[in-house]
Amino acid sequence: MPSGGVETPIPASVFARLSAATRYVITGAGPESWFGPQQPLVPQAPPDVKGRQWDYPFGVNLNYVPRSDNLLSFGELRALSDALPLLRAVIETRKDQIAALNWTIRPRFSGGSGASNRCAALRAFLAMPDRRHDFATWLRMLVEDMLVIDAATIYPRYTRSGAVYSLDVIDGATIKPLIGEDGRAPVSPDPAYQQVLHGVPAADFAADELLYLPRNMRSHRLYGFSPVEQIALTINIALRREQATLDYYNTGSIPDSFATLPKDWTVDQIRQFQDYFDALMSGNLARRRMVKFMPAEFKLTETRQPPLKDMYDEWLARVICYAFSVPASAFVTQVNRATSQTLRAQAATEGLVPLKAWVKIALDRMIALCFRAPDLEFCWVGDDAVDPLEQAQTIAILVNAGVKTVAEARAELGLGQANGVVKGNPYHDERGQFTDADHAVEPGTHGPVKPGRGVQIAENKNPTTMSDAGVGGSPQQVAQLGVIPEPAEVPPPEPAAPPPSAPVGRSGAPIEIEPGTNTPATNDGVPYSGHALDRMQGRGIPPSVVQDTI
């Protein structure tokens, strides 16, 4: 452009203006609509405001006092947690439970090179994460800030070489989260947190310089929502009831009883007698039990004592315990043993398991961010363990129903096979078949059973060979088990079906059912052998449970 020229912007064409206008037009919502919704107003904010996380106050980063825009400050939340003995007992119980658990560091995937050495080094470091406290004490400090103010914070400190020196738990009440224009935490290297000390901003932290770990975040708040804050009103009510009880013992104006004296006594005589009686009884425990001679027309009236505990106190205890998923059985009217066990199991599922998950997520993030080891993970020992009783019951149901063979069950349990043949019962012979007394062999040997030793004998009442599963197997099933079938014998007459009043066992208290009590039957299209029905009757397992398991 030649110098001195005038730049004249070209106005948008008619089509461009129409295209921009149609972005804010709702089809069919025109002025002619009868009581219609009408067209929305044209957005007034710039386009880059679209998708802002929440409508934060103007200049929110300038208000550097942490939690100043909330009803309860960090100091008030901590004062509530310390003032009520019941609440403090519940918090300490949760901290004791989580600190008593065993933990370890393991690879996320098998086959990593040098993973065992790195896991051992990380376990040794976490034994004293801040070089001052052991892991249990360090974890208690972290959980305390999470349960009370929901602002648990870890500050990693590094050596000059860049290695992690310590993981310090710092007071989350001094941390002020910052946000960007979109309402979200700024990404590194911009400051995402600010530490406020003595009422003034003291230091800035990027997102990768500080681990700020609130558990219960909400989209319209900068700070977490701790269990203490959730029940703040309930805690205040409980505190006032505790104060009323304390005043009853300290400054109560109603004595335990009133005594009347003769009507013709003057005020001075009554006062003199009161001083005499108080001096006689005060501090003299032995004299209180002796006979007292009183003036005529003496009458004692005992006042009615106010109830120091009622159902509302139990209700407060239940609400507080429920907020932390701790069983309230220790603070309420005694419950039976079954109810107490149910409450404990429910508390472990609803409270301890989410708390363990929060700790694991926090430490996994710390391992990946600070130690640059995303292939390693923190885990609680026993979390992935399978209940042996439930596993055994499930396998027994599937094997007895013929869904799985004994070979498949042993493979699932990680058990081997003997000479390629499954030995599910120690009293089976080398081929895996049921034996009689004449052909019984000693388990693990080829010789006859030792004299005086009992032999478990099972009669083959079905025309097919009995497998270890206890069901009549087809030739294919027999071949799969590696069992050589013997010539089938003519089966004896099948016994009649047991009456409906026949005894049935139950879980934890099975009964012995004589072999052959039940005959083969079909239920809902699923065939069951007599042996399987005997086992199911002895353990109280209905066919519907077997079908649901299948």
Give the per-residue SS3 of 462-480.
Answer: CCCCECCCCCECCHHHHHH
Confidence of residue 300 (pLDDT cuts 50, 70, 90): confident
- 3-state helix/strand/coil string of 413-474: HCCCCECCECCCCCCCCCCCCCCCCCCCECCCCCCECCCCCCCCCCCCCCCCCECCCCCECC
Task: State which of 171, 196, 223 marks the end of a domain.
Answer: 223
In a domain, 190, yes or no: yes
Main-chain dihedrals φ then ψ at residue 81, nearest 5 degrees: -70, -25
The string over 258-268, giving b where at least 16 C-beta atoms fall within 10 Å of a residue's C-beta and e elsewhere, is eeebeeeeeee
What's residue 527's pLDDT?
80
Compute CA 306 distance to the chain's CA centroid, rounded to the nearest angstrom. 40
- Contact of 213 with 65, CB cutoff 8 Å: no
Q: Which residue has the higher pLDDT, 307 or 490?
A: 307
Task: State which of 207, 223, 239 marks the end of a domain.
Answer: 223
Runs of H (alpha helix) within 55-103: 74-83, 85-99
> Would you say residue 136 has pLDDT above 90?
yes
- Contact of 113 with 375, CB cutoff 8 Å: no
Average pLDDT, integer, range 54-73: 90
* Cβ neighbours for 272, distance < 8 A, ≥ 6 positions apart: none
Query: What percentage of the chain exceeds 90 in pLDDT?
Result: 35
d(CA 213, CA 197): 20
Lowest mean pLDDT of 61-75, 247-261, 349-363, name the range. Answer: 247-261
Confidence of residue 360 (pLDDT cuts 50, 70, 90): very high
- Contact of 384 with 364, CB cutoff 8 Å: no
In a domain, 161, yes or no: yes
Lowest mean pLDDT of 76-90, 201-215, 512-526, name the range. Answer: 512-526
In a domain, 409, yes or no: yes
User: Beta-strand (E) ranges in 109-268?
Assistant: 152-158, 164-170, 175-177, 191-197, 200-206, 211-213, 257-260
Confidence of residue 495 (pLDDT cuts 50, 70, 90): very low
> Would you say residue 490 has pLDDT above 60?
no
d(CA 498, CA 530): 12
What's residue 19's pLDDT?
62
d(CA 358, CA 493): 64
In a domain, 455, yes or no: yes
What's residue 489's pLDDT?
53
**CA distances for 159 relative to 162, 163, 342, 387, angstroms:** 5, 5, 50, 45
In a domain, 394, yes or no: yes
Tell me the HSE value of 406 on the side-chain side, using a 13 A CA sphere. 24
In a domain, 105, yes or no: no
| pLDDT tens by residue, 404-419 | 888 888 877 766 554 4
- What DSSP string describes 482-534? T----PPPPPPPPPPPPPTT----BTTB-----TTSS--EEETTEEE-HHHHH
The 8 Å CB, 24+ separation contacts for 351-360 are: 351/94, 351/324, 351/325, 351/326, 352/94, 352/97, 352/98, 352/325, 354/325, 355/94, 355/98, 355/143, 356/98, 356/101, 356/380, 356/383, 358/146, 358/213, 358/215, 359/98, 359/139, 359/142, 359/143
What's residue 484's pLDDT?
40
Lowest mean pLDDT of 197-211, 396-410, 469-483, 500-514, name the range. Answer: 469-483
For 435, the token pair is 């034996």
Please tell me whether the peptide bond between 189 and the residue prior to it is cis, using omega within 30 degrees of 0.
Answer: yes
d(CA 26, CA 357): 46
d(CA 408, CA 412): 6
> Would you say residue 156 has pLDDT above 60?
yes
Main-chain dihedrals φ then ψ at residue 426, nearest 5 degrees: -65, -15
d(CA 236, CA 173): 21
What's residue 470's pLDDT?
40
Average pLDDT, integer, range 447-460: 46
Average pLDDT, integer, range 52-62: 91
- What DSSP string describes 186-200? PPTTSEEEEEEETTE
**Could you list the residue range(s) of the whole structural domain that residue 141 is in?**
64-77+111-223
Q: Which residue has the higher pLDDT, 436 or 329?
A: 329
Q: How many domains does the chain have?
A: 2
For 21, the token pair is 């206008």
d(CA 387, CA 391): 6
Average pLDDT, integer, range 72-96: 94
In a domain, 167, yes or no: yes
CA nearest to 226, candidates 130, 358, 379, 96: 358
> Would you say residue 285 has pLDDT above 80?
no
Task: State which of 178, 203, 223 marks the end of a domain.
Answer: 223
The length of the chain, given as a count of residues: 550
Q: Which residue has the higher pLDDT, 214 or 448?
A: 214
* Cβ neighbours for 270, distance < 8 A, ≥ 6 positions apart: 261
* Cβ neighbours for 93, distance < 8 A, ≥ 6 positions apart: 326
Average pLDDT, integer, range 30-40: 81
In a domain, 541, yes or no: yes
Q: What is the mean pLDDT of the chain?
A: 78
Confidence of residue 253 (pLDDT cuts 50, 70, 90): low
